[in-house]
Copies of this chain bind each other. A is one copy, B any other.
Amino acid sequence: MQLLDGKATSQSIKLELAQAVEKRKKEGKKIPHLAAVLVGEDGGSLTYVGAKVKACEEIGFKSTLIRLKSDITEFELLTVVEDLNNDDEIDGFIVQLPLPKHIDENTITLAIASKKDVDGFHPINLGRMMLGLPGFLPATPAGILQLLKRNNIETSGKHCVIVGRSNIVGTPLSVLLSRNTPVGNCTVTLAHSRTKNLVEICKQADILVAAIGRPAFITAEMVKEGAIVIDVGTTRVEDASRERGWRLSGDVDFKNVAEKCSFITPVPGGVGPMTIASLMINTLEAMDFNGK
């Protein structure tokens, strides 16, 4: 078994991006500037946004964190989005999800200018992805592609089973891995809560992606000997042995599954850092989309 080390892979991406920033500086070009909007005080969201801002600093991107109170109205948040759409200094921005329940996430996503939608959640970017046209790829699926590519994992002709059909991970990843592209050409099965015989389905996978958000849901009996396992889950579970009282758990029963795998991503340090690296790649690409 070999670890698919998202932390190391994302470091090499960040290094390349830092070099691209240096080159831009020398050429007198604009330095990419990412803004992140964080509504409320959710612990997980705070951590994610913090990591994104930190990644910007490491690479040399500019970053702006906009923190808003959890009782902000939808209209007020739309105004913030509109201001960012119109701010020429900001090349790309994200609104960290989840949002408080009184705000409709689709309304906000649709309001973000597609040219600044570095999370790749806007329908026009998803549609462009489906057609193989240039656009921002959703950050987590794109990060998984980078992880496979940079670790020289052949995907063509492989059977990939994805468990979980979310709009931001499972469904777009199923499209990306089935396309006729260098990191693609998989036979893809998209499974979910209504899937029958999930064990038999998963056992067919050459590449198994778990993106359901249920700690340790994928057990060893569901994994074929020699499979590649990608764990997208990051759920906080109680852990009295840790000072903070919790640890992050993936969707895979790592200890038992790892023994059967050829490759497996750890949690943390697997898909998470790759998601952030993708966001950074998208932010640099935003310069092209915006003609800067």
Chain B residues within an 8 Å CB radius of A123: 123-124, 126-128, 130-131, 133, 135
Beta-carbon nearest neighbor of A126 in chain B? B127
Interface pairs A-B: 5 shortest CB-CB: A123-B127, A127-B127, A126-B127, A189-B189, A185-B194
Chain B residues within an 8 Å CB radius of A201: 159, 187
Beta-carbon nearest neighbor of A167 in chain B? B131
What are 9 pairs between A and B in contact, CB < 8 Å? A106-B131, A123-B123, A123-B133, A126-B126, A131-B167, A132-B167, A159-B196, A174-B190, A187-B194
Chain B residues within an 8 Å CB radius of A127: 122-128, 130
- With a 10 A CB-CB cut-off, give which of A132, A195, A201 has the most chain B CB atoms: A195
Binding site for B on A (CB under 8 A): 106, 109-110, 122-128, 130-133, 135, 156-157, 159, 165, 167, 171-172, 174-175, 178-180, 185-192, 194-196, 201
Beta-carbon nearest neighbor of A138 in chain B? B130
Cross-chain contact B130 with A126 (CB below 8 angstroms): yes
Cross-chain contact B187 with A157 (CB below 8 angstroms): no
Cross-chain contact B191 with A190 (CB below 8 angstroms): no
Cross-chain contact A178 with B196 (CB below 8 angstroms): no
With A167-B131, A171-B175, A175-B175 given, is the CB distance from A157 to B126 under 8 Å?
no
Chain B residues within an 8 Å CB radius of A192: 178, 180, 185, 187
Beta-carbon nearest neighbor of A191 in chain B? B187
Cross-chain contact B189 with A165 (CB below 8 angstroms): no
- With a 10 A CB-CB cut-off, give which of A127, A133, A135, A159 has the most chain B CB atoms: A127
Q: How far is the CA of A165 from the CA of B186 in the complex (A)?
A: 11
Chain B residues within an 8 Å CB radius of A125: 127
With A123-B124, A124-B124, A171-B175 given, is the CB distance from A194 to B130 under 8 Å?
no
